[in-house]
Amino acid sequence: MIEEILINFLNFHMSAPVYTDKPKKDIPEEYFVLEKTGGDLSDHISESTIALQAYAPSRYKAAKLIEDANAAMLYELIKLDDISGVELNGSNSFTDTTTKEYRYQSVFVITHY
């Protein structure tokens, strides 16, 4: 499952923890939420669209977190045997106006086995 591969990878490479759901208690100051938003399978090769959101107490820290994650995803993830391609589809400020939490989001298309 690609989510498990990505969570293990990011938890190893990043300074903030990665979750599949926003934590409800014991919320760290900085963290990521990873979500698979789409996918496709063709000739036994999968392609998954992944949204990664970085949360932090300031806009700058959230931007720094997502930039560090982008670098890890683009330049380190491809080194894993199960991954054959990583493309950054977009990265932007995604501050939650309801909760006033600073966050940035990047969307990746990952080709994997």
pLDDT in tens, 9-44: 999 999 999 999 999 999 999 999 999 999 999 888
HSE (CB half, 13 Å, CA atoms) of 2?
26
Q: Report the percentage of the chain scoring pLDDT > 70.
A: 100
Q: Are 69 and 106 in contact (CB under 8 A)?
A: yes
Say whether pLDDT at 113 is over 90: no
CA dihedral 74, 79, 82, 86 (to 10 degrees): 20
Q: Each residue of 45-61: pLDDT tens digit?
A: 999 999 999 999 999 99
Specify the pLDDT at position 81: 94
Token duo for residue 25: 């208690």
Which of these ranges, 42-46, 65-69, 86-90, has the smallest mean pLDDT?
A: 42-46
DSSP 8-state secondary structure symbol assigned to residue 81: T
The dihedral built from the CA positions of residue 98, 99, 102 and 106, taken in this order, carries a sign that is: negative
